Structure 1
Amino acid sequence: MKILQKDFALNQTGTAKLMAEEPDDVWVLYNLILPGDVVSADTTRKVHHDSSTKKNTASRVKLTLHLKVTCRDFHKDSSTLRLQGRNLHHNQHVAAGSFHTLSLEPNKPFLLRKNLWQNDAVQTLNDTTRKECSKSNSTSIPDLAVVLFHPHRAEIYLVAEGDNTHCTKVEACPNSRKNGKVSSSVFFRRVLAALVKRVDFKVLRGVVVTSEEFRAFAVSEARKMGIRWIEDNKTSVAVVEDGDSLEKVLSDPAVTVLVKDSRVRAFRELWEMVCNDSGRACYGAEEVERAKEMKAIETLLITDDLYRNEEVGTRQRYDDLVKSVKDGGGKAFVYSAMHVSASQLSQLTGVAAILRFPLPDLEVQD
């Protein structure tokens, strides 16, 4: 969200010139713009002209509407916010007092006027500004490189904060197989070459592989190839023997400490509490809502499918839940579909919470 101009103070009348930059910003506007607010924006209207030949002609003209909002509708599929209201200012083509609509979408600037900028509205814009600063200062430097071995192939991933990237897949060449078995040295050499090509070892905290044999090969080959990082950081090349998926690898305790991603650590903590039946974890919308009412939520975990649900009522429900947890001093993590822990969280209904104190009878309450 871009704040192009700001002229307001808390609990006073004022204006802000804004422009959504991405679809999520439109949802922010849906919660920011309320009935009674005035929105001014450029739009087009089809205007009919009477000619001397008595033939009607029509053209689209650009004009500015100043709508006092009466209702609004959010359309997720098109990432637009449709506003309805009464036009306040007369112009050549639109009379004052007539009802019209405006559509707000990414990259369309508009002016918002509120008779009273309450704390919620001011906080919404402040939060948006902080998020933009965080995005501009953030870097997607990976923490780990992960090499998963499967029969006759290997896959290489880069793991960064909230972002797991599949880099490449290395297939064993048919002519490298003898009697149905893959020649490990030929295959491993190709995997190591792919790893070196796609990874900047200077920024890594570690490399995780699922083959002890490949680790030994890589350490030995590094001396010949002059790969100093592997030579100097042998202890940072870890092995997870039974890691047949990225989820299993990243949930291994030895790997968790290497990953900066707080979402991975949060889910692991939640999962351990669920397995140990400690009473300090709950999942499911009803249980989490009850825990919120008791101000018991320390960390909320929610999938992107729920948090940005297509149904406006559902999206508003979980948006309010996240806001309530944060207002109460808790943390909230949203898991995108691409996140390594998202599928596991979905199996726990998509929303779960780590609690500040045990609530063992939470699930049996009416």
Structure 2
Amino acid sequence: MRVIYKDMRNGKIRLRAEALDDLWTLSNIIEPGDIASGRTVRKIKLGGEDEKSESFKKDVLLSISVENVEFQKFGNTLRVSGKIIEGAEDIPSGSYHTLNIIPGTEIEIAKKEWLNFQLSRIEEAAASQPKIIVCIFEREKAVFYMPRAQGYEKLLELKGEVEKKMMKSQVADFYAEIKKAIIDYDSKFSPEKIIIASPAFWKEYLSKQITEPELKSKIIYSTVSSADVTAVAELMKRPELQAVLREDRVSMEESLVSELLEKIAKGGLAEYGLEQVKFAVESGAVEKLLVTDSFIQQSRQEGSYTNLEQLLKSAERMKGKIFIISSDNGPGTRLDGISGIGVVLRYPIS
């Protein structure tokens, strides 16, 4: 995720979602009552409602008062719906619209009050970058990248001096050059993963050159349509890279949930279940509050989210830290198994 600007005096933050994980993060940050603004496509009708009128699609900038937030996990889209409060003159205020957010979408979020855990999640998503090297190549070019907070930094570009009908020796020489660069960057940066992507079958040829077991264990192969400047953005949407981007987050969630369950088993410094969590928050004893995204979504559907939000605010005022755990992974499944919400305590309360 990239933060484009912050205007905390007016409660506004403009962001660009850059990965599928960012959509999940935003689904837990954007709430009913927020104002969401962004560019979108809107169908515009020419003429009155009773007339046989033509319609056309128009790219517009809209602001909506959020009423519903839905993360479509299998459609790679975050849908933010609500009433239009500001837009072009030919778009009636008060009509409904849905902003569809995908990786690459920019959106401005305005809140009456930002909670610390929401700001922390944005900062975490913007600052944390996976320790990976990316190599995108085709027949005559190979480009190496490393993720940075500002985007992807180009480390190296190699060009193969070959004709379209390459001799086998020329092919082998270029692959050897790519392999050498991979080994050099592995030694220099010690990445956890190395993503190698190419159009068509080129990566299969390169994979035959890489035989070292330790190096092979780090490599993930993917597919892109070309090796030009658009390839990185295309690769960001690939499931292979998304899995790598999620690994660090899952590791942290595993540690948090394991700590909670261990303290529950020992007794005294952990509680779970909504009523027990409320009592712990009111006692000022909460060090960490863990809640799953499924628990949050259910509270929205049942109309009890306002109460949950007040509970989270109270925990923060008492210097407790809030962590949202994904129900899609093992740690979240285990937390859902004990109600979906729990707290680690500074001191016993019973």
Normalising by structure 1, we get a TM-score of: 0.47
Normalising by structure 2, we get a TM-score of: 0.49
**Rg larger in 1 or in 2?**
1
